[in-house]
A and B are shown apart, each in its own frame.
Chain A
Amino acid sequence: MTDTHIAPEMWAPATRDGAAAEYIAAPSLTFWQDVRKRLWANKPAMLGLGFIILLVLAAIFGPLLSRHTYFEQNLKLSNIPPLFQTYEVTDGAGATTRFFFNSGNLNLYEVTPSGEVAGLLRATKKDLIKKQQQFKFGDREVVLDTARQQLSFADGAALAPSGWQWNMSHWLGTDQLGRDVLARQLYGARISLTVAFVATLVNFFIGVFYGGLAGYLGGKADTIMMRVVEVISTIPLTLYVILIMVVFNSGFLSVVLAIGSVYWVDMARIVRGQILTLKQQDYVAAARTMGASTPRILVRHLLPNSVGPILVTLTMLIPSAIFIESFMSFIGLGVTPPEASWGTLTSEAVETLRAYPYQLFFPAAAISLTMFAFNFLGDGLRDALDPRLRT
């Protein structure tokens, strides 16, 4: 072999550091650092988390800051949209009146220059046969043709809209009883989220207790307890939530109770599984022989190991609870009026769907976005915690 000449100093022993320097591996992270990093990198999950935080803040502080309460009714100002097209009429004396036409209930409402809704304008004459109403503004007269939904002056000249105006007194409009939609939305979020969080917590404790007990007792007791879980998990739980609601009557507490007492089987399974694997692990036996007490073992070893799956289950349980609550409210079994949740808000909006379809938008969007947020966060958490995906 014809070898090129190599400088003699190259045959000196290698300096280890130089060689080692080429192998600076990625800094090794602890499990939770790794999870956090992966979660941070997951944009949908972070968006979801951000949305949830904002939502919770809005649900807590929103009702406090709102000018309106969720129950205050004003039937004169019912079904006002959040955004309307205004008209302006100036009479002979130079006074200008701004108003808008609500095509859902065929009323005219006066609007202040700042965009607040001042009140209903009374028709001076109603002609039910010709389907016309007349309104007087000083010396000028405006005719509303309710059949064609057109406004014109008495001389027949069409009245042109002067522009769009956001409703400054009710930012999201009012519902069919004239209640402020924004206040009700915020209050609804509060109820829906409270129900979901509390019910999830109740499930969490029942599940941890039941699963923990089954796993801890083991043997026959475990077998029987898990058979019970198997039976429960084949029962359609929505039916049982409904039955419980029938027994305890509608209302906030019964919703929490109903949802909270029913969806704990997954949690119980997870906790039991974790306890069983733990019991088989050497270090637990070691800890026990070294005299560590059971609670101490549970806190030191069980928690860190099961936090992942439990967290994912909890994040997934919250949207289910929100959904079930809204489902119950939707069929009339949830919180009772005038209290509001996303379910009752949606079902109220459905009642007025034909005349005021936009009223469906806010509750539907609120619950859908919340479901998205929790789903994204839950998926992100699961991916971040999945050891198979670790690199």
Chain B
Amino acid sequence: MSAPLLSVTNLSTSFFTSRGEVQAVRGVSFELRAGEILGIVGESGSGKSITCMSIMGLLRSSGRVIDGTALFEGRDLITLDEDELSALRGNDISMIFQDPMTSLNPTLTVGEQVIETILRHRKVSRAEARARAIELFELVRIPSAAKRLRSYPHEFSGGMRQRVMIAIALACDPKLLIADEPTTALDVTIQRQILALLKELQGRLGMAVILITHDLGVIAETADRVLVMYGGMVMEEGPVRELFARPSHPYTRGLLASIPDLRDDTHHRLTPIPGSPPDMLRPPKGCPFAPRCPHAMAQCNAALPPLYDAGEGHRARCWLHHPEAPRVAGITAELVTA
């Protein structure tokens, strides 16, 4: 197989606040191939956004990557300086954010916000950039594109603004698009349209996508591989079909428990598992999920479980996969037979 487009190893990011060190991301590793869609799920605060921000070099000043590498086409993004990174951002790697209502600058026309991106990364004239912007607006299906370039964000609906954001992200044919909950802030019908558009554009343009979402239905429909995050760590990862068919971590099972049928038309938000996520100021030394886990054992509080291989690129961070651990139906039963 070819070398991965992006390869993240042992990424750790902390925020240094007045109350202490918030360990937002703790040793996350994953790989992404060209043209692949990776879904990241997890409850709020599990470190999904911060993982991506760390890769993009977009952390706010109190946040620092304290360990790990992120190789993008062989270059470690973590060690690049701001000039090198900014030449990549919006060009080879671009990003879409959650809230289209606040992600666009209210005092500049949307056209200007697309055009400035093109002019930053491509040696083209303003007229050419404008032509490209119209092309992009047509690509994301904004009606009467040429006219709408002169509009301001407040003259657009939420869905239309997210289309503008997508146009900006696609302006320079990125190899990797990071979409951080691109539909969470939108109405359900608009959500579907935007997701369909994203999936279609991905098929046409062939870029790799990291799709962060709370919605397991979206993952099932869109992604090739999934990363389940909890407490700043990867709890389980694997190909979508494999992971949905054989969830091998109690947390993932908890997440899936709410979805009776994946082919069901309605999308399901993660129904909350009783309890609350760990305080990242003082993360527990054992399994972060232990306080909420129905199978928690003494060992779980004593030590952090490693990522166990569950076959076919499927891995899970749970002591239940230890050969000496008691078997639990649904999590490890298949392992025995496999």
Q: Which of B279-323 contact A (CB under 8 A)?
A: 279, 282, 284, 290-291, 296-302, 308-309, 322-323
Report A76 CB to chain B, min CB distance, Å: 61
Which of A9-17, A29-37, A180-188 touches B? A9-17
User: In whole angstroms, how far apart are the Cα atoms of A6 and B286 in the complex?
Assistant: 15
Tell me whether B325 is interfacial, beta carbon within 8 Å: yes
Contacts of B325 in A (CB 8 A): 11
Is there contact, CB below 8 Å, between A19 and B324? no
Contacts of B290 in A (CB 8 A): 14, 19
Listed stretches A20-28, A112-120, A155-163; interface member: A20-28
B57 within 8 A of A: no
Residues of chain A within 8 A (CB-CB) of B297 are 10-14
A6 to B17 CA separation, bound complex (whole angstroms): 38
Q: A148 in the interface, Cβ–Cβ < 8 Å?
A: no
| Pairwise interchain contact A13-B324, C-beta atoms closer than 8 A | no
B311 vs chain A, min Cβ distance (A): 12
Whether A1 and B308, one on each chain, are in contact in the complex, defined by CB atoms closer than 8 angstroms, is yes
Q: Which of B19, B279, B299 contacts A23 (CB 8 A)?
A: B279
Residue total for B at the interface (Cβ-Cβ under 8 A): 22
CB-defined contacts of B323 to chain A, threshold 8 Å: 3
Chain A residues with CB under 8 A of B309: 1
Interface residues of B in 105-138 (CB under 8 A from A): none
Contact (Cβ within 8 A) B19 A391: yes
B residues in contact with A13, CB < 8 Å = 296-298
The reply to whether the CB of A388 lies closer than 8 angstroms to some CB of chain B is no
Q: Tell me the bound Cα distance from A19 to B278 in angstroms.
A: 11
Cα of A1 to Cα of B282 in the assembled complex, Å: 30
Partner of B324, one of A1, A3, A16, A20: A3
Query: Which residue of A9, A11, A20, A23 is within 8 Å of B326 (Cβ)?
Result: A11
Q: Is A220 an interface residue (CB 8 A)?
A: no
Residues in A neighbouring B19, C-beta threshold 8 A: 391
> A6, B291: Cβ atoms under 8 Å?
no
Q: How far is the CB of B72 from chain A (nearest CB, A)?
A: 30
- B298 engages A12 (CB within 8 Å): yes
CB-defined contacts of B282 to chain A, threshold 8 Å: 22
| Count of A-B contacts judged by CB separation below 8 Å | 52
CA of A15 to CA of B326, assembled, Å = 17
Contacts of A16 in B (CB 8 A): 291
Q: Whole-angstrom distance from the CB of A313 to the nearest CB of chain B?
A: 28
Closest Cβ–Cβ distance, residue B52 to chain A (whole Å): 24
Cα A25 to Cα B291 with chains together (Å): 13
Q: A52-89: which residues lie under 8 A (CB-CB) from chain B?
A: none
In this assembly, does A387 line the interface, its C-beta being within 8 Å of a C-beta of chain B?
A: no
Interface flag for A354 (CB, 8 Å): no
Q: Let me know if A19 and B322 touch, CB within 8 A.
A: no
Using Cβ atoms and an 8 Å threshold, which residues of chain A touch B299? 6, 10-11
Q: Does B301 contact A14, Cβ atoms closer than 8 Å?
A: yes
Output the least CB separation between A322 and chain B (Å). 34
Q: Does A5 count as interface, using CB distance less than 8 angstroms?
A: yes
A328-371 contacts to B, CB under 8 A, are none
Residues from chain B with a CB closer than 8 A to the CB of A9 are 298
Residue from B278, B301, B308, B324 within 8 A of A6 (CB atoms): B324
Residues of A within 8 Å of B324, CB to CB, are 3, 5-6, 8, 11
Best-buried of A8, A16, A23 by chain B (most CB within 10 Å) = A23
How distant is B310 from chain A, measured CB to nearest CB, in Å?
11
Contact A10 B291 (CB under 8 A): no
Expressed in whole angstroms, the Cα–Cα distance for A5 and B324 within the complex equals 8
Kindly report which residue of chain B lies nearest to residue A14, judged by CB atoms. Answer: B296
Q: Which A-chain residue is minimally distant from B17 (CB atoms)?
A: A391
Those of B1-53 within 8 Å (CB) of chain A: 17, 19
Interface centre among A14, A20, A25 (most CB of B within 10 A): A14
Task: Please give, as numbers and ranges, the residues of chain B lying within 8 Å of A8 by CB-CB distance.
Answer: 324
B residues less than 8 Å from A25 (CB atoms): 279
- Chain A positions within 8 Å of B301 at CB level: 14, 18-19, 22
A10 contacts across to B, CB distance below 8 A: 297-299, 302
- Cα distance A15–B308 when bound, in Å? 24
Which residue of chain B lies nearest to A13 when distances are taken between CB atoms in the complex? B297
- Nearest chain B CB to A274 CB, angstrom units: 25
Within 8 A of A (CB), among B248-264: none
A184 to B161, CA, bound (A): 66
A34 to chain B, nearest CB (A): 14
Across the interface, which residues of B come within 8 angstroms of A12, CB to CB?
297-298
A14 with B278: CB separation less than 8 A: no
A-B CB contact pairs (8 Å), 5 listed: A11-B326, A14-B301, A18-B301, A22-B284, A22-B291
Given contacts A18-B301, A391-B19, 20 further A-B pairs with CB under 8 A are A1-B308, A3-B323, A5-B324, A6-B324, A10-B297, A10-B299, A10-B302, A11-B297, A11-B326, A12-B297, A12-B298, A13-B298, A14-B297, A16-B291, A19-B296, A19-B301, A23-B278, A23-B279, A23-B291, A391-B17
Please provide the 6 A-B residue pairs with the shortest distance between their CB atoms, ordered closest to farther.
A10-B299, A14-B296, A19-B291, A10-B298, A22-B284, A11-B297
> Which residues of chain B have a CB within 8 Å of any CB of chain A?
17, 19, 278-279, 282, 284, 290-291, 296-302, 308-309, 322-326
